[in-house]
Amino acid sequence: MDGSGEKKPAKRRSQDRVLQRDPERTRAAILEAATREFAENGMGGARVDAIAERAGTNKRMLYHYFGDKEQLYLHVLEEAYVGIRTAERELHIGDRSPEEGIAELALFTWRYFHKHPEFLSLLGTENLHRARWLRQSVRLKELHSHLIVELTEVLDRGKKAGVFIESADPLNVYLTIASLGYFYISNQYTLSTIFGRDLADTGNLDAWERHIVHVTLASIKA
């Protein structure tokens, strides 16, 4: 196509921008940029060009590493689930008393949601589409059982000790904790607007943290 012997434009370009040539870093940069873009705009609102720009690369690389927009989104979602479940494994709710174990799980979940609103946003997007991509995922089948197993053991110990009611169900307890955290964080903008109180205020956040622990324990106490 060229063959004119003129190499100037290309040479000048390689001086302007430092060529990375670091596949691992490029891949990671794309994944992080995509996480933010999908979390901020949802599947329909996210722009492939915007992801490439945020990652400091271009579309070609994005398609090179991840195939297409949908597969990139699935990678982002899987990574987000791996993130919370990995962090969850590091806390051992069975180490102290049953009440302290439940309180610890509630605190962890609330704080993780608060620290990672992009995870909640991705969940919202995925549910809007009725778990269309999550259901296709092969990576995320065995990931969640650990949580329920450990929670079941703590509840059983509490029941035997007579501090928890017999009807306390592990899934219900987890859903209760998750509900109270998820709704407060993910709906803070409409709630703050219609009730005229800033839910992101530190005082309100601390109060809600205590509230979650109180509600969870009150609902299973014997």
Tokens of 151: 């929670």
Q: Which does 112 bind (CB under 5 to 8 A by kind): DNA, its own copies, none?
A: none
Among 32, 43, 48, 83, binds its own copies (CB under 8 A): 43
**Under rule CB under 7 A, residue 20 binds DNA:** yes
Contact positions with DNA (CB under 7 A) in 66-125:
68-70
Tokens of 186: 């993910």
**Under rule CB under 8 A, residue 28 binds its own copies:** no
What is the per-residue DSSP string for 194-205? HHT--TTSHHHH
| Burial call 186-197: b when 16+ CB within 10 Å, e when fewer | bebeeeeeeeee
Is the Cβ of residue 63 or residue 208 nearer to its own copies in the bound state?
Answer: 208
Among 28, 40, 58, 148, binds DNA (CB under 7 A): 58
Contact positions with DNA (CB under 7 A) in 31-50:
46-49
Is the Cβ of residue 56 or residue 83 nearer to DNA in the bound state?
Answer: 56
| Amino acid (one-letter) located at 154 | V
**Under rule CB under 8 A, residue 175 binds its own copies:** yes
178: buried, middle or exposed (CB in 10 Å: 19+, 13-18, 0-12)? middle
Q: Is 162 left (phi over 0), alpha (psi -120 to 50) or beta?
A: left
| Burial call 200-216: b when 16+ CB within 10 Å, e when fewer | eeeeebeebbeebbeeb
**Under rule CB under 7 A, residue 21 binds DNA:** yes
Interacting residues with its own copies (CB under 8 A) = 40-46, 81, 121, 123-128, 130-131, 134-135, 140, 143-144, 148, 171-172, 175-176, 178-180, 182-184, 186-195, 197, 207-208, 211, 214-215, 218-219, 221
